[in-house]
Amino acid sequence: MSSDELIQVQVVYALPQRQWVLPLQLPAGSTAGDAVTASGVADKVPGYAGIEHTLAIYAQPVSAATVLKEGDRVEVLRPLLADPKQVRRARALLK
């Protein structure tokens, strides 16, 4: 693979009321962090700054240093708002 070869990837971010799917062409060897920066998602999504996000590729958690492959979908994950175990317990108590 030559260093001037481009790969196609997507960066996705979702809120309950809206989703962003941002297609990109990046140089081969680019990382997940490079893709998020190049996508400009921080400028497009209100309230993005100041929140610590986790990255995933097809729902598998990855670090920002993970090298991308052709066709990867980099998912920017928001932090959980509630502990799922506590929510299930509370729901069970209501029944």
Nearest to 77 by CA among 13, 11, 9: 13
What is the structure's pLDDT at 49? 67
Q: Phi first, then psi: what are they for 71, rounded to 5°?
A: 85, 0
What is the structure's pLDDT at 94? 85
Mean pLDDT per 10-residue segment, the chain (95 residues): 82 91 97 94 76 90 97 91 83 85
Q: In b/e form, how buried is each residue of 32-45, taking b as 16+ CB within 10 angstroms?
A: bbbbbeebebeeeb
- Supply the Cα-derived Rg of the chain in whole angstroms: 16
* Domains of the chain, each with CATH number or no CATH: 6-94 (3.10.20.90)
Amino acid at 84: P
Percent of the residues in the chain that have a pLDDT greater than 90, as a whole number: 58
Helices assigned H by DSSP within the chain = 32-39, 41-44, 84-94
Residues in the chain: 95
